[in-house]
C-alpha cells in the first residue's frame, strides 16, 4: 500500500493558515498536469474538507475515484494564532511561541490544538483509509502539518525534528506500507 501525500496549491497567505478556508492558486496548469501525470492512475483520491485541498484534489483527480472529503485531514488548528505572522505571535506569546517550535508535541496555541492532537487526528484518518482501501494506492491532498505528522509517525522522528522539513505546495511525499511498517520513499518531490 502506498500513500501519496500532496500538499495543496499555494494560498499566498503570509500568516499561519490552519482552519481558515482560503482558496488555492491553481493557475499553473502545466504544474497541475505534471503532478496528475506523476501520480498512479488507479489510485483513489481524498482531501481535507478545506477549499484549498478540495480544489487541488479535484484538479489532479482525472479519472481516478474521488472519495468524500475528510475533516480529520485538516491542517493544525492554530486557534488565536490563525492568520497571524510569526512576528505577531512572538510578540503576543513569546514563551508559548518558542515552546511551540522547540518542543511542539504537547504545546498548544491558545484555542488551538497541539502537534500530538494533530497527529492523532490524522493517524485516525489514515487508519480508516488503510481499512477501507487495503493494498490500494491512495492520494491524499492535505496540508504541511498533516503531511509532516505522518512523516514523523513513519520515521519515528520527533516533532521538533520533522517540522523543519520543507514541503512545497503541489509536492508529493510518498509513504509505503511494507510488512506492516511505513517506509518513507520520497519527500517533497515536485514533478
Q: What are the residue ranges spanned by the domains of the chain?
A: 2-189
Cα–Cα distance list, 160 to 4, 37, 105, 154 (Å): 23, 33, 8, 15
pLDDT of residue 104: 86
pLDDT of residue 74: 98
pLDDT of residue 95: 94
pLDDT of residue 97: 93
User: Which residue do the cell numbers 505546495 mark?
Assistant: 169
Residue 91: strand, helix, or coil:
helix
Class of domain 2-189: alpha beta
Q: Which portions of the chain are predicted below pLDDT 70? A: none
CA distance 145 to 162: 10
pLDDT of residue 89: 95
CA distance 52 to 112: 20
Specify the pTM: 0.95
pLDDT of residue 43: 98
CA distance 26 to 174: 22
pLDDT of residue 103: 86
CA distance 15 to 83: 4
Amino acid at each position: 500500500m502506498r500513500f501519496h501525500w500532496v500538499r495543496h496549491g499555494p494560498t499566498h497567505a503570509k500568516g499561519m493558515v490552519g482552519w481558515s478556508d482560503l482558496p488555492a492558486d491553481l493557475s499553473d496548469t502545466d504544474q497541475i498536469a505534471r503532478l496528475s501525470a506523476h501520480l498512479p492512475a488507479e489510485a483513489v483520491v481524498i482531501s481535507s474538507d478545506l477549499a484549498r485541498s478540495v480544489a487541488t484534489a479535484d484538479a489532479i483527480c482525472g479519472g481516478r475515484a474521488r472519495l468524500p472529503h475528510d475533516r480529520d485531514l485538516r491542517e493544525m488548528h492554530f486557534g488565536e494564532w490563525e492568520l497571524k505572522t510569526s512576528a505577531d505571535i512572538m510578540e503576543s506569546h513569546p514563551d508559548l511561541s518558542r515552546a511551540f517550535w522547540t518542543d511542539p508535541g504537547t504545546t498548544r496555541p491558545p484555542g488551538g490544538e497541539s502537534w500530538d492532537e494533530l497527529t492523532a487526528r490524522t493517524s485516525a484518518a489514515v487508519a480508516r483509509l488503510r481499512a477501507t482501501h487495503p493494498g490500494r494506492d491512495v492520494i491524499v491532498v492535505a496540508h504541511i502539518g498533516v503531511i509532516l505528522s505522518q512523516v514523523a509517525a513513519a520515521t519515528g522522528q520527533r516533532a521538533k525534528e520533522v517540522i523543519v522539513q520543507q514541503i512545497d505546495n503541489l509536492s508529493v511525499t510518498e509513504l509505503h506500507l511494507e510488512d506492516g511498517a511505513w517506509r518513507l520513499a520520497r519527500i517533497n518531490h515536485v514533478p
